[in-house]
Amino acid sequence: MLMITGAQAQTYTNFIRQVQLPSSGVQFDVSVPAAGQQQSPLEINPTGARFELHTVRTSPLQSFLLDTRYVGSYFTVAEVLITTEDVNSNVPRTRADRPFTVRITTDGLRQGATDPEAAKSVNFYRHTQSYGVGGVGDGLDRTQATLTSQVKINQNGIQTLIYPKKTIAKYRGEERFSIFSLADFQAPASQLASQTVQIWPVADGTISGITTGQTIEFSTPTITLAINDIYPDARVYAQVYQGPKRDDGFVGTVVPGSAVAVNESVPQNRLLTVSNWDSVLTANGAWTMELLTVTPFGIDRLAWVSFNVDRTITFNGSVTTSE
């Protein structure tokens, strides 16, 4: 069953194509309403067929492949489920410095000595593809993805694989995990299940306009906060607290005018200018300002600066009296 959601039906038109295998050039349009089901009048056996769910955007005209299912003689069921710490996204996504898990489920594989090879195992593939510097994956040619690993699975059941963090903080790209049937005399290798996870870079940022060790005597200087690669679902803000830098996640006072919330599908950059933040410096002494981002993975400190506040008024002069 290929699922069509209501949101897609509002702005896109869905088409289901049945492609007879092995490829003979015959394609059949399984006309269905925006949501619903219909039995295909075309035979499946003995060679199998691939069902493709496409959606077409009216303007600009473009088609997107949403899902595929192969239906053939051997009843093998496979599922790929990617889990990340970002549970707020419909599309699996995570960040370069975070692990994720891939759960694969296979059922229907046979064990008999006389069973054909294609009924006894499936192949599992991992593809990786970078979006390039600053890329967000638009117009990506996925046939150019790198086949990183390919293995055979011949046991029914659930397998959970844990993928560690990347070693490159600014990695941006995607990884696709797919299960394919084996090719045999009846049909070519066909995709049984697939899921893709997007991996976005770790944000970075700077605080300029104030330097470590600087003393603020009168009004606060105008500062500039530059943040790159803010995670698609994140907040960014600066906070101050008294004393030197702390590493325990201390909650300080948010600097007025420094907070930004991002709710996009791809990373964002922001440049903020903050002035007149005197009100949060309530005492003389050492202070620390931190630039933080809050994401589904926790709070990350992007930059910090420690400075001093000294607003003591000193009179230089003498007092005399006269009679």
Within 253-292, the residues that bind other proteins by CB under 8 A are none
The least CB distance from residue 204 to other proteins, in Å, is 6
By the 10 Å C-beta count (0-12 exposed, 13-18 middle, 19+ buried), 160 is classed as: exposed
The least CB distance from residue 13 to other proteins, in Å, is 4
Please provide the size of the chain in residues.
323
Number of residues forming the site for other proteins (CB under 8 A): 92
What 3-state DSSP class applies to 11? helix
CB 187 within 8 A of CB 286: no
Q: What angle do CA 136, 139, 140 make, to 5 degrees?
A: 75
Tell me the CA end-to-end span of the chain in Å, nearest whole number. 105
**Selected binder of other proteins within 77, 215, 299, 310 (CB under 8 A):** 299
Instruction: Choose between 296 and 309: whose C-beta lies nearer to other proteins.
Output: 296
**Selected binder of other proteins within 13, 211, 215, 263 (CB under 8 A):** 13
The least CB distance from residue 281 to other proteins, in Å, is 23
Is there binding between residue 27 and other proteins (CB under 8 A)?
yes
The least CB distance from residue 198 to other proteins, in Å, is 16
Say how far apart CA 44 and CA 39 lie, in whole Å: 12
CB 250 within 8 A of CB 292: no
User: Is the peptide bond between 33 and the residue preceding it cis, with omega within 30 degrees of 0?
Assistant: no
**Selected binder of other proteins within 75, 117, 152, 265 (CB under 8 A):** 152
Is there binding between residue 237 and other proteins (CB under 8 A)?
no
Q: 71: part of which helix (H) or strand (E)?
A: strand 62-71
Is there binding between residue 123 and other proteins (CB under 8 A)?
yes
DSSP symbol at 23: T
Instruction: Choose between 143 and 322: whose C-beta lies nearer to other proteins.
Output: 143
**Selected binder of other proteins within 249, 283, 320, 322 (CB under 8 A):** 249
Smallest Cα–Cα separation from 252: which of 322, 305, 214, 201? 305
The least CB distance from residue 151 to other proteins, in Å, is 4
Query: Which residues ranging from 190 to 219 are in contact with other proteins (CB under 8 A)?
Result: 190-191, 202-205
Query: Which residues ranging from 30 to 49 are in contact with other proteins (CB under 8 A)?
Result: 30-33, 41-43
The least CB distance from residue 319 to other proteins, in Å, is 52
